[in-house]
Structures are given as C-alpha cells and as structure tokens.
Amino acid sequence: MGRISEHAPAKINLTLQVVGRRGDGYHFLRSLVGFADVGDVIHFAPSKELSLEVSGPFAKELSASNLADNLVMRAATKLLDICDHKQGAELHLVKNLPVASGIGGGSADAAATLRGLMRLWAVGDVTDDKIRELSLSLGADVPVCLQSKCTWMEGIGEKLSIGPRLPDLYAVLLNPGVAVSTPDIFKNLGGVFSSGMHKPDAFSSLGDFKNYFDLVGNDLQNPACELEPVIAEALFELREQENCVHSGMSGSGATCFGIFDSKEHAERAARTIKLKHSDWWLCPTVVR
C-alpha cells in the first residue's frame, strides 16, 4: 500500500464527573465525549524503519522534546511488537491542535497512528481485544479516541458505551495559552466526588442538551479556574457571545468550548473574541 493519511480529531469532554478514586490514585470518571471536525493529521508511507517528522502550527512544542518518546512513536512501536510481520513506516504528524490542552491531541494522535498503521501494514493477526488493551496502555483517553465517535467513557477510560444522539452542536474551541497540571487540578478537587448522573439515550433538542449539560458540567472546571483564572476569563468570553447556548471546559483544560445555535453564530463569535484576544487559539467547529 502507498501513502495514506488518518485524521486525529479533537476530543471534547462535553461532561466530566469524577465519581471515585482507586487505591493506586487513578480516578474513576464518567464523561460524555464528542469529537470535533478539526484535529491533527498523520501521513503514513511504507519504509524499512520507523521514523517521525512533525510539522504544523504547534510542531515546535513537540520538536523541542524527544520525538522517540512521542505518543505517535510509542503507539507505532507497541503495535509493531505484537504484529507477526515486522515492518516500518515513515510517519508525518501535522500538529494543528495545542499541546497538553485537554482535547486529547496526543491521545488522538496515538489512536490515529494505530488505525493508520493497521491499514498500511494490513494487520489481520491482532484481535480487537489486544488493540483495546494496547490503546489503554498508551493512555486513558486513547481507547475512546480510537473510536472517535460520541461515547460514554467510564472507569479510568476503559469502559466505553455508545453515546446519545446529539443535536447539531456548532462550537467554538478556545485555548487561552496556559499550561495546566492535571495532578494539581485533581489535588485541588479535594477528594470531592460526584454521584454520577444518569446517561440519556438522546437529546430531543438543543434546549434539552443545555438543561442536561448545565446540570452535569465538568467537575474539574472550578478547580482549574482557581489555579488558572484565565480559564474563567475564557469561559466568560464564550458565554458573553450572542447565541451561546452552553460553555464549558474540556478534560482538565485549558481548552474551553462554547456551543452555538448555528454555524454562522459560532464563526461570528470566534471572530469577535479573536479581535479582543489575538494571542488565544480559537477554532469554530462542529462536535459530533
């Protein structure tokens, strides 16, 4: 097979509840995860060896680190280890998403790497269970990113079930450019856990969606805002835009999202905020 490509869509935690903690410190979560139509892209070409090149708007954040330990290379190496036929590939990651920003960029890249290499290498000797096990070993968000569709994610990321039917969700993704520490945010949560809300099968309207999401929210949002007040500012800017139906933070931040009632209103909001905060990353999108 010749050169192929895989999209690595941004993961959006539309809701996130922390419902407990294991003895080893890992937290149990319940999250409704959607995926945007924007993301990174990975290109694959046959080769005798594994190699990785990075380009794109956020390439510098990765190029400064050891690419051999990048999640893309770790995913490729782990998949190669369990394949019967040893092969290589030239990997080219186009990094369009901010790094370490709560929208699963690295996890989505790892998942796209697994999907792409399984096609490139025509992997047929590895079971689905083995791939799921491999994906979880790369990170808690990788299994849901492997599916890249609306999903309920529970446990530490290993329990996945079909998500509800969503209304059209026109969104603006906004990252104010701050790095947040996930361990610090969980520490700031102070061991306060949610009981876990019910999981609807569908939302009948955008209003139905708003009522549910306003009720459930993201348990890590307030602790993150306390540590980095600019996140609260970002959420305020989204809420203040005309026709913003709901705003929230994805994952442990710092990326926030605003939901709007039309594509036009989402695009207008992104332009308005960009005029005021030219250094913030903003992207209108659709979440599914």
Catalytic residues: 11, 141
Token couple for 274? 């960009």
**Which tokens sit at 189?**
């949560």
Angstrom distance (rounded) from CA 43 to CA 8: 11
Could you tell me which residues come within 8 angstroms of residue 277 by beta carbon, excluding any fewer than 6 positions away?
176, 237
Question: Taking a C-beta distance cutoff of 8 angstroms, is the pair 73, 114 a contact?
Answer: no
Which residues does 29 contact at the CB level (< 8 Å), separation at least 6? 16, 17, 18, 19, 153, 154, 155, 156, 157
Burial class (CB in 10 A: 0-12, 13-18, 19+), 277: middle
